[in-house]
Amino acid sequence: MTIIPTIDWLTDLNVFAVNRLPAHSDHNYYETLEEARDAVPMKMRNELNGNWKFHYSVNPDNRPKEFYRPEFNCSGWGDIKVPGHIQLQGYGKPQYVNTMYPWDGHNDIRPPAIPMDHNPVGSYVKMFSVPAHMENKPLYISFQGVESAFYVWLNGKFVGYSEDSFTPSEFELTPYLIEGENKLAVEVYQRSTGSWLEDQDFWRFSGIFRDVYLYTVPEIHVFDAHVRTELDSSFKKGTLQADLKLLSVHSPSKIAAALYDEKGCLTAAADGVFSEGKWTFSMAVDGPKLWSAENPYLYKLFIQAFNESGSLVEVIPQKVGFRRFELADKIMRLNGERIVFKGVNRHEFNCRSGRAITKEDMLWDIKTLKQNNINAVRTSHYPNQSYWYELCDEYGIYVIDEMNLETHGSWQKMGAVEPSWNIPGNKPEWQDIVMDRAISMFERDKNHPSILIWSCGNESYAGEVILNVSKYFKEVDPSRLVHYEGVFHNRDYNETSDMESRMYAKPADIESYLSENPEKPYISCEYMHAMGNSLGGMYKYTDLERKYPMYQGGFIWDYIDQSIIKKDRYGKEFLAYGGDFGDRPTDYGFCTNGIVYANRELSPKMQEVKYLYQNFKLVPDQTGVTVINDSLFTDISRYDLEYVLFREGKELARGVLNVEVAPLSEGRAEFALPADMLRDSGEYCIHTFFKLKEKTLWADAGYEIAFGQYVFQVKGAENPVLVPGALRVVEGDVNIGVHGLDFSIMFSKQAGSLISLNYAGKEMIALPPAPLFWRATTDNDRGFSQGCHSGLWYAASLARKCVEVEVKESDEQVGVTFTYQLAIISEVEVKIHYTVLANGSVRVKSVYHGAANLPQMPIFAVSFKVPADYDQLEWYAMGPEENYSDRCEGARLGVFNNTVSDHLSGYVMPQESGNRTGVRRVNLTNSIGQGIRISSVSEPLECNFSPYTAFELENAQHHYELPNVHYTVVTVAGKQMGVGGDDSWGAPVHDEHLIHAGRDLEFEFMIHRI
């Protein structure tokens, strides 16, 4: 029967696949055993990636309707790269929205209708000839990913139609082939019924964005292989079973299977049996080595098909992992042990190519996960490229594989749950199109041992349709569990998910659930919303791992910023976010939530992730180190345990310790620090590390995988510091000058501040010090409406009045105190005391007397400017990356160097960044080592050095909007509030990391010349 394609399919719930081949496993296949063993590129596959002829139409009415005909001349069209997004190759524009549908405000429609007035159409044409070695065989085409619906023609004949952007669509081309050059035509629509099901929090693109290739098959072909492993209760006896579906004209004479270990030794073998239309085989394996993220042991299975004459015609290599994942005693267990997911949500993304990512991108990602102790990924919110699962199998990453379903905008509007027209809900007409997506994901991905959990999609509320998807997964695959968070909003469908899964629940809410004898284990499928300068308070979640066995970890939102390279009006590249392309509606910078920047550089937030996710806890003291091994299956024999002793940041000794600690146990290693090394008074610090003994797939030998430190003081006789020299004080009508040997320091009664620090003729003060109560608003601050709640501190930082100047002189020092009145409230008083010592050092003390009913204070600090030539930094503080009071668990005390320009973190929207806690001292110098040192007096400080003031950062939406650099801005704080991160739309910073403005506050620091 001739099928006549129609544009009406785009809105027909019953048409989502026409002539599409059934979904099947993603295995490779070869004609010889040697090729299969060597994993060479498949000869029976021919890529069609590269340049295609292309025409862009803003809507269907303007498309070249008959472009697929052989006589239609497309030679004058432009080119487009496949794989790639249409909107990132000069056609149309990308659009970023989160929950709302991209046509909100433009079209008043309800599903399954779509906006046809703006439904971009990409018309693709590829001319190809069948490779000689593929001629006279059946020929197929595979589209690995096309967004969101497409029609296919070959030589003017209609081939097929498909929806679902993130799973393969395959068609047979054999009946439509001609000799010589063939014309392949593909018509891609951005909007279709499927668009209602693809309302993920991401950029809205379209086009052929994954690989396209031709393939053929031998005379006998295993079209689908379902390979399963089982373990008995002792985990010492394994069984491998497989079901094979064949696509062939002739029946095989024999199917043989052989299993080899990693060394290439034969482990087991079996012959297939034909029954009920399929071939099956089973083999027993005694004492199999088990797969886990810690030890991703893979066997290699070779399935061989022989024709009727006994000749080998096909070999399938299939990597196999033996592992058992189950829910036992209300706890998720892998190979018998309670698992904790130390995970991230991961979009496929590249700042230049969007979701059309490369194998190199994926390799970088998988190594980055492993290097930073991340053991799990949720494929938010769609099936990824097959290669990603292969890497997760090989490198060892636990996967929640999520089907391509999100209908967020149909039930949640501006945060409110309003499911009056939610889809798919209980609407039976949506069942088939939704189930098709579940089937396509399962059939392709079922053989990957890294996948522990199937997910029924994301943020689509709940109902019978999704419940039926969960039942499908459980029926076809009892070896895995099923996840779905949406039942939190509708408990009538609680059985959809095997685990309690919530988004952005506060630690107290999680504890409330866990303390009430729940029926299901708990995971945070999304937590720690890492937007901009965030991830504060993450330790409150990881602390739950030890306290509650049914708390089994979570997945940070998210892995990588979704920002796109764009050029400003002067041709300079920058990272752009929603709205920068004129896209409306948009959710602006809400796409930048990564612990990795979009250009694949690590964000400072990763420092905290790596530490809190480490499997080995190192707790040193003055006599040794306690090792807590939280690994499920790994002893510490593959690591070197090193320690280093420092005094005041200077290394005194280091060594390597021997210790044996089994999985899920503790041990201790002792060391004897030489007594003479501890004789001097001062601050000492012991660093301990676990480092790889040997190179791995993901890191070189010597790579640090775990860290712990211990800081202690050695008391000694206090020797008074003699400050030589005499001071000459000149108190003029306006200025107070304090002069000593080779320095001159001046205060102004008129300016109400210190106005000059002149050392050896070098002026250090470019703008006088002033009290500072405001930091450049972070993304989380914006989400909490900090500007509304605490905006008076913005005004207080800019508008103040010096109401009193007091001068005190003695032989050794001169004190000048400025008292400030703030416009916000008369009861508040701020004083800054300056004490000039005879050697030119200045002691600065800031005192704040608070008042009742004031909002939280973002920062309590003193800030001033020095010339920009002073841009070299050496810290003795917590580092090396930026840290805050609620994000400093992963920081370590040490001496670190950087520059002021490098100090500004790469968050896409300018905001507070670069802070260091625990500052003992920091040198700010020019290129020849001249400058000043800032040091603590009694308590460590928080400091920041930036090319920009808090207010310049506050008023810039992009980095290119910041002014040229003329100064170094020095900010010395007694305290800065934490950055928070429970969410970015209203969650406050936890109370212990706030600054309560009703209390009296003070801090001190010293300024020394260098």
Show which residues are catalytic: 459, 526
Can you tell me the distance from the alpha carbon of 399 to that of 721, in angstroms, rounded to the nearest whole number?
61
Can you tell me the distance from the alpha carbon of 318 to that of 29, in angstroms, rounded to the nearest whole number?
9
Can you tell me the distance from the alpha carbon of 880 to that of 874, in angstroms, rounded to the nearest whole number?
11
**Residue 961 in tokens:** 């909007």
- Nearest residue to 698 (alpha-carbon basis) of 400, 448, 451, 396: 396
- Nearest residue to 693 (alpha-carbon basis) of 661, 645, 656: 656
Which residues are paired to 629 by β-bridges? 616, 665
Can you tell me the distance from the alpha carbon of 769 to that of 184, in angstroms, rounded to the nearest whole number?
70
Can you tell me the distance from the alpha carbon of 830 to that of 808, in angstroms, rounded to the nearest whole number?
18
Amino acid at 976: Q
Residues 6+ apart with CB under 8 A from 748: 734, 735, 736, 755, 768
Separation of first and last alpha carbons in the chain = 88
Contact 974, 937 (CB under 8 A): no
Angle subtended at Cα 976 by Cα 973 and Cα 981, rounded to the nearest 5 degrees = 155
Burial class (CB in 10 A: 0-12, 13-18, 19+), 277: exposed
**How far out from the chain centre does Cα 357 lie?**
15
> Phi and psi for 164 in degrees, rounded to 5?
85, 100
Burial 719-734 (b: 16+ CB within 10 A, else e): eeeeeeeebeeeeeee
Is the CA virtual torsion 383, 388, 393, 395 positive or negative?
Answer: negative
- Nearest residue to 421 (alpha-carbon basis) of 433, 404, 434, 408: 408
Query: In the block, which residue shows the tokens 């697929």?
Result: 68
Can you tell me the distance from the alpha carbon of 655 to that of 65, in angstroms, rounded to the nearest whole number?
74
H or E element that contains 541: helix 539-542
Contact 236, 64 (CB under 8 A): no
Amino acid at 832: I
**Residue 684 in tokens:** 């000492």
**Residue 440 in tokens:** 């396509």
Q: 969: helix, coil or strand?
A: strand
Task: Report the relative pairing of strands 398-402 and 376-378 from DSSP bridges.
Answer: parallel
Edge-to-edge strands, sheet with 17-18: 17-18, 157-163, 149-154, 181-189, 121-129, 50-57, 78-82
How many residues does this entry show for the chain?
A: 1010
**Residue 1010 in tokens:** 């260098």
Can you tell me the distance from the alpha carbon of 500 to that of 494, in angstroms, rounded to the nearest whole number?
9
